[in-house]
Chain A
Amino acid sequence: MRVSVITFPGSNCDHDAYQVFSTRGHDTRMVWHKDHDLCSPDLVILPGGFSYGDYLRCGALARFSPVVKEVMAHAAKGGLVMGICNGFQILTECGLLPGTLLMNSSLSFICQHQKVRVETANSPFSKGISPGTVLDIPIAHKEGNYYIDDKGLGSLQDNDQIIFRYCDEFGRMSPDSNPNGSLDNIAGIINKQRNVLGMMPHPERSATDTVPSRDGRRIFEALESLVG
């Protein structure tokens, strides 16, 4: 597949994403945030980092980068978009995904391996993964505390839009297995059209032979089974 990884000023996981996709044999491009051409990708990656220094609110200023208009047009046509960590924050700020990522309930930056449970196989990003499968994918953020109002949460649940939830090693959800205070243990959601995913965990950091967990590969394999 053709993959475009967007670099905002302050992105710091763009090269990790580039390396994972290019190593897996995909035609991968780096696209600067001021560019207007996405290079006709199948998949756009909004990477992790601290775009615009996280000033005002995480992702709030990145939303006005010229390339985001192109990303929104790509998404409107049904193109795949994956926002990881800061990319998830940007997707909520520009309205492609509902809700908001607030400061972690602990007020701390959390960097650790985290168990996440796949909730549904009904998405291009989890196709072929049995619901209930527990993946070990690192998190590294201070603003990952997912919040949405009651009506919005009900809509996410009713429309099978929650793709990943934080859990323990046995797949159980509890306050102890919720690292950041996210509502309903939400770690990743998809839009109603099921082509735009946002997730706080970093699958690109658990996808190569040199790291302890390779579970992030499951997500990339799901995409490959669909797009090639």
Chain B
Amino acid sequence: MLKAKIFVQLKASVLDPQGKAVSNSLHSLGYTAVSETRISKYIEISFESDDRATVMQQTEEICKNLLANPNTETYHFELEQQN
């Protein structure tokens, strides 16, 4: 069994108001060295397969077709062997 661990992030050029709000809170907590916070999505997908090439290709398709919006987001993922 393989598990895809997928990160979907806003592009650097896109403003992240949630991240900005978190930064402001961190500053008010005294973490003045914090320069920026970006909020991302983390998604896990488990596959009933050990075929890395196929799972890699399907995960790529899933990210492109549904999980990430190419206008505003980028993605990357890694595959992990599950017992």
**A residues neighboring B (CB under 8 Å):** 56-57, 60, 64, 92-93, 98-100, 102-107, 145, 147-149, 181
Out of A100, A105, A107, A181, name the residue touching B69 (CB < 8 Å).
A100
A107 to B71 CA separation, bound complex (whole angstroms): 20
Interface contact A93-B69, CB-CB below 8 Å: yes
The prevalent SS among residues of B at the interface is loop
Determine how close the nearest CB of chain B comes to the CB of A59; give it in whole angstroms.
Answer: 10
Q: Is the CB of A104 within 8 A of B17?
A: yes
Across chains A and B, which 10 residue pairs bring their CB atoms closest together, nearest first?
A100-B71, A100-B72, A105-B17, A107-B17, A100-B69, A107-B21, A103-B17, A57-B69, A147-B72, A147-B14
Q: A100-B71, A102-B72 are in contact. Are A60 and B17 (CB under 8 A)?
A: no
Interface set of B (CB-CB < 8 Å, partner A): 13-15, 17-18, 21, 66-67, 69, 71-72
Q: Kindly provide the distance from the CB of B40 to the nearest chain A CB, expressed in whole angstroms.
A: 13
- Alpha-carbon distance A181/B15, docked complex (angstroms): 10
B residues less than 8 Å from A100 (CB atoms): 69, 71-72
What distance in Å separates the Cβ of B6 from its nearest Cβ neighbour in chain A?
A: 12
Query: Shortest Cβ distance from A150 into chain B, in angstroms?
Result: 9
Contact A56 B66 (CB under 8 A): yes
User: B71 contacts which chain A residues (CB < 8 A)?
Assistant: 92, 98-100, 147-149
Q: Give the docked Cα–Cα distance between A104 and B72 (Å).
A: 15
* Complex: A92 Cα to B70 Cα, angstroms: 11
A–B complex contacts, Cβ < 8 Å, 28 sampled? A56-B67, A57-B69, A60-B66, A64-B66, A92-B71, A93-B69, A98-B71, A99-B71, A100-B72, A102-B14, A102-B15, A103-B17, A103-B18, A104-B17, A105-B15, A105-B17, A106-B17, A107-B17, A107-B18, A107-B21, A145-B17, A147-B14, A147-B71, A147-B72, A148-B71, A149-B13, A149-B71, A181-B17
A20 to chain B, nearest CB (A): 31
Cα–Cα distance between A147 and B69 once the two chains are bound (Å): 12
Could you say which residues of chain B place their CB within 8 Å of the CB of A106?
A: 17
* Contact pick for A60, options B13, B14, B15, B69, CB 8 Å: B69
A183 to chain B, nearest CB (A): 10
Q: In the assembled complex, how far is the CB of residue A70 from the closest CB belonging to chain B, in whole angstroms?
A: 20
User: Which A residues lie within 8 Å of B14 (CB)?
Assistant: 102, 147
Chain B residue nearest in CB terms to A57 = B69
When distances are taken between beta carbons in the complex, the residues of chain A under 8 Å from B21 are 107
Contact partners of A148 in chain B: CB under 8 A: 71
Cα separation A149 to B70 with both chains bound (whole Å) = 11
Besides the known contacts A103-B18, A107-B18, A181-B15, 10 further A-B residue pairs in the complex with CB atoms under 8 A apart: A56-B66, A56-B67, A57-B69, A100-B69, A100-B71, A103-B17, A104-B17, A106-B17, A107-B21, A149-B13
